A and B are shown apart, each in its own frame.
Chain A
Amino acid sequence: MNKWITSALLAGALVSGQFLGQAMAQDDKDTVRLGIDVPYEPFVMRDADGKLEGFEIDLGNELCARANLECSWVEQSWDGIIPGLLARKYDAILSSMAITPERERQVMFSLPYYNTPSVWITARDRDIDIDDKASLKGLSVGVQRGTIRDVYVTQEYGDVLDIHRYGSSQEVVNDLKSGRLDLTFEDFPIANDAIDFRQEDSPYKQLGDSIKTPTSIFGKGAAMAFRQRDKALAAKFDKAICEVYADGTFDKLMGEYFDYDLSVRPSEADCAQ
C-alpha cells in the first residue's frame, strides 16, 4: 500500500514538474516585454476600449511576428523608462527613443527605425526670428524635460531664452495655448497632432526650418533599446527592421498614420551583418 502511494506521489511530482518546466521555458524564451510611454500620438495611444494602438504598436507587433517572438506591452512613463529597463520591468524599449551617446552608456540600441525633425512653433501673429539670437532675449520657451529638445534648447539658447521644463508634452501645449509661453520647440509628430500650425489660417505657425542637426544631439534616429547583455535579442530585431524596410511594409504602416516622411532606411552594410 505504502509503495502505491509513494509511486503515485512521485509520478504526480514528475508530471507537474514537467508542466512547470514548460511554462517557465515559455516565459523565459519567447515572451518579450516591450516598455512604452503612453500616450505619444499617433505612435501610441488608447482606443475607446482602453486598448493600445498606434504606429509603434503596429510596428512593434510586426517586428515581433517577423522575429518569431511573443510580445507584450508594458506602460512606463518617460522619466523612468531607462531605469525600468535596467530593473528588468521589461526586456526592451520601443518608445520613440532617439539614439544618443549618453543613453548608449546605459543601454544598447537596435538599428534606428525612424527619425523625425523638431520644430519651433509660435503664435501666428508673433514676429520672431529664431536665428537672430539677440532678439530672443527674455522670451519663454517650453520643452519636455530630459528630451533631446531640452538638451538642444539648453545648449543653443540657454543664455537668451527663459526655458520652462515640463513633465509631459500636453503641459507644454497647454501653456503655449494659455499664453504663458512665447515659443515651444516640439517634436514634429507631437506638434502636428496637438497644435494646429500647418494651415494658412491656423492660430500657430512654424518658425524657420525643421531641425535635425547636430546629430550629436538629435542622433541617428529612434531605435529600440535593450540591456547591454541582450545581444541576441537585439540582433533578431535588427533583422526584422531590415525586413520591414526591404519589402515595403514600413512604408505601408507609415502611410496609415503620417502625411510626411519619417523613414530612415538602414544601409545594406547594416543589414548584411
Chain B
Amino acid sequence: MDQLNAWFTQLLAGNAIFTANTLGFYWNGLVTTVQLVFLCLLLGIVLAVPLAIGRGSKRWWIKWPIYAYTYVFRGTPLLIQLYLVYYGVVFFNGIQDTIFWEVFKDAFYPALMAFTLNTAAYTTEIFRGAIKNTAKGEIEAARAYGMSKGLMMRRIILPSAFRRALPAYGNEVIFMLHASAVASVVTIMDLTGAAYYVYARFYAPFPAFIFVALIYLCLTFSIMFVFRRLEKRLLAHLRPRGA
C-alpha cells in the first residue's frame, strides 16, 4: 500500500496540470454535469408522458401543437436552443425587474430549461412510438374486461410501453449526457467547462480533454450498466424460456 501511495505521489509530482486545484475544478464540474443531466431527464419524463399520450390523441388541437413542439425541438441544434434561452430572454424589456429574473439571471436554470425542453421532445417521440406499438390483442382483451380508457392506459398500455421504450430511452439518456457538454458556452462550469478552463489556463488540450473524456466514458458505462440491468429484469418475459 505504501508502495502504491509513493508511486501515485511520484506520478503526480512531475506534472504542473493535475494539481489538487484543477482536480477540484473537475470534481465540481462532475457534480454540476450530473445534477444538470439528472434534473433535466427527470423533468423531461414528467413532461413527456402526458405529451406522448396527447400526441396519439384523435383531436387535432391536442395532436398538432405537440407535434409542432417535438418537430421544432428535434429539428434544431441544442446549442442554438441554449443560446436562445440564455441570451434571448434579456431582450424581453424589463425582465430584470420581474420575478423571472431570479431564475434567468443564473446560467443554470436557462440551461436546465433548454435541456429539459429538448430531451422532453425526444422522449415524447420515443414513448409515442412505444404506445403506438402496443399489441392489438392486449387492447382488445382490456376492452373485453370493460376497462375504461384511463384504466386501460394506466394498467395495460403504459406499463408495456415503458418496457418497450427502455432500450431507446437508455440511448436518449446517454445522448443527453453528451449533449450537456454545450452548457459550458453559457459559463456553466460543468465537466467540459472545467476541461476548457484547464486547457485555456495551461494551453494543454490533450491532457485536459483526454481526462474529461475518460470521466464521460465512466459515466456512460455506468448508465449503460444500469439500463442493462433494468432491461434484463423488466423484459424478462420476452426472453426464451430457460435462458
User: Are A102 and B203 closer than 8 Å at their CB atoms?
Assistant: yes
B147 contacts partner chain A, Cβ-Cβ < 8 Å: no
B181-194 contact mask (Cβ, 8 Å, vs A): 1 or 0: 00001010100010
Task: Write out the residue numbers on chain A whose beta carbons fall within 8 Å of the beta carbon of B205.
Answer: 80, 83
Given A145-B196, A165-B187, A166-B187, A83-B203 contact (CB < 8 Å): yes
CA distance A79 to B200 in the complex (A): 6
Given A178-B90, A178-B96, A180-B105, A165-B197 contact (CB < 8 Å): yes
B37-66 contact mask (Cβ, 8 Å, vs A): 1 or 0: 000000000000000000000000000000
SS of A interface (majority):
helix
Task: Write out the residue numbers on chain A whose beta carbons fall within 8 Å of the beta carbon of B96.
Answer: 178-179
A residues with a Cβ closer than 8 A to B are 79-80, 82-83, 102-103, 106, 142, 145-146, 150-151, 164-167, 171, 174-175, 177-180
CA distance A166 to B193 in the complex (A): 10
User: Are B105 and A79 closer than 8 Å at their CB atoms?
Assistant: no
User: Are A164 and B90 closer than 8 Å at their CB atoms?
Assistant: no
User: Are B202 and A145 closer than 8 Å at their CB atoms?
Assistant: no
B85 contacts partner chain A, Cβ-Cβ < 8 Å: no
A-B contact sample (15 more), CB < 8 A, given A145-B197, A166-B187, A178-B87: A80-B205, A82-B203, A83-B203, A103-B203, A145-B200, A146-B197, A146-B201, A150-B201, A151-B201, A164-B107, A165-B187, A165-B189, A167-B185, A174-B87, A175-B187
User: Are B200 and A146 closer than 8 Å at their CB atoms?
Assistant: yes
Q: Which residue of B lies closest to A143 (CB)?
A: B187
Chain B interface bracket (under 10, 10 to 19, 20 to 34, 35 or more)? 10 to 19
Instruction: Tell me the smallest distance from the CB of B51 to a CB of chain A, in Å.
Output: 31
CA distance A245 to B203 in the complex (A): 31
B227 contacts partner chain A, Cβ-Cβ < 8 Å: no
Task: Write out the residue numbers on chain B whose beta carbons fall within 8 Å of the beta carbon of A82.
Answer: 203
CA distance A166 to B96 in the complex (A): 21
Partner of B199, one of A79, A103, A106, A150: A79
CA distance A82 to B202 in the complex (A): 11
The 7 closest A-B pairs by CB, nearest first: A146-B200, A178-B90, A164-B187, A179-B96, A82-B203, A145-B200, A106-B203
User: Are B202 and A102 closer than 8 Å at their CB atoms?
Assistant: yes
CA distance A150 to B185 in the complex (A): 16
Task: Write out the residue numbers on chain B whose beta carbons fall within 8 Å of the beta carbon of A165.
Answer: 187, 189, 193, 196-197
CA distance A179 to B90 in the complex (A): 9
Instruction: Tell me the smallest distance from the CB of B212 to a CB of chain A, in Å.
Output: 15
Instruction: Tell me the smallest distance from the CB of A250 to a CB of chain B, in Å.
Output: 29
Q: Which residue of B lies closest to A105 (CB)?
A: B203
CA distance A101 to B93 in the complex (A): 45
Task: Write out the residue numbers on chain A whose beta carbons fall within 8 Å of the beta carbon of B187.
Answer: 142, 164-166, 175
Q: Which residue of B lies closest to A179 (CB)?
A: B96
CA distance A103 to B201 in the complex (A): 10
Instruction: Tell me the smallest distance from the CB of A150 to a CB of chain B, in Å.
Output: 7
CA distance A102 to B158 in the complex (A): 58
Q: Can you give 10 A-B contacts (C-beta < 8 A)?
A: A79-B196, A80-B205, A82-B203, A145-B196, A146-B201, A151-B201, A165-B193, A171-B87, A178-B87, A180-B107
Q: Which residue of A lies closest to B91 (CB)?
A: A178
User: Are A179 and B105 closer than 8 Å at their CB atoms?
Assistant: yes
